[in-house]
């Protein structure tokens, strides 16, 4: 091998997998020509839409409803509180998918649920749901936390 040159063996070793990957991408992407036997087939743009997200007639169904910050917080906190009370929780608040502020709400909910459970109060699940909903509604009432995106 000359100084500053490229080894032909290395270039060949690179060219073969590259050519194979290029051919595979072409086949997957459907980059056929009229001679390739793919001419005349319906492409995703011309094929009627069927399956999930369509109504079967080829028209797309409405987009799913967007979950608000408050609803998402309520679901996460409620689920996390039940996990903690049942002894199935693991890791820290980040592994639970919670922000620091949501974790504060979770701790308050768990404390209230533990106190209710010790007193034998029925409906601990409803208490968890109500306290999580109230805490999350207060947190997101003004549109979101004001101490930064991580809070």
> Tens digits of per-residue pLDDT, 62-121?
888 888 999 999 999 999 999 999 999 888 899 999 999 999 999 999 999 999 999 988
The closest alpha carbon to 84, from 76, 72, 53, belongs to 76
Confidence of residue 21 (pLDDT cuts 50, 70, 90): low
The closest alpha carbon to 73, from 102, 97, 94, belongs to 102
Q: Hey, where are the domains in the chain?
A: 69-140
Check: pTM over 0.75? Answer yes or no. Answer: no
CA pair distance 22, 83, nearest whole angstrom: 48
Most confident of 32-46, 77-91, 134-148: 77-91
pLDDT above 60: residue 131: yes
DSSP element (H, E) containing 25: helix 8-29
Q: How many CB atoms lie within 10 A of CB 49?
A: 14
Q: Which residues contact 57 (CB under 8 A, 6 or more apart)?
A: 48
Taking residues 26-33, report their average pLDDT. 49
**Segments of 1-151 assigned E as strands:** none
Tokens 């094929």 correspond to what residue?
47
CA pair distance 74, 130, nearest whole angstrom: 9
Taking residues 15-34, report their average pLDDT. 53
Name the token pair of 22.
Answer: 């290029």
For residue 60, which phi and psi values (nearest 5 degrees)? -75, 140
Task: Report pLDDT for 54.
Answer: 57
Taking residues 114-130, report their average pLDDT. 93
Q: What is the mean pLDDT of the chain?
A: 75
Q: How big is the chain, counted in residues?
A: 151
Name the token pair of 142.
Answer: 């003004």
């Amino acid at each position: 091998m000359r100084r500053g040159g490229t080894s032909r063996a290395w270039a060949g070793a690179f060219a073969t997998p590259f050519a194979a990957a290029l051919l595979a991408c072409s086949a997957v992407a459907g980059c056929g020509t009229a001679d390739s036997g793919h001419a005349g087939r319906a492409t995703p743009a011309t094929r009627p839409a069927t399956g999930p997200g369509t109504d079967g007639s080829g028209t797309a169904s409405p987009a799913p409803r967007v979950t608000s910050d408050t609803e998402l917080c309520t679901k996460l906190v409620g689920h996390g509180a039940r996990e903690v009370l049942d002894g199935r929780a693991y890791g820290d608040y980040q592994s639970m998918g919670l922000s620091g502020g949501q974790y504060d709400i979770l701790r308050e909910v768990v404390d209230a649920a533990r106190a209710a459970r010790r007193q034998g109060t029925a409906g601990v699940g409803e208490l968890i749901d109500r306290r999580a909903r109230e805490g999350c509604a207060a947190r997101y009432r003004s549109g979101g936390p004001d101490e930064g995106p991580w809070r």
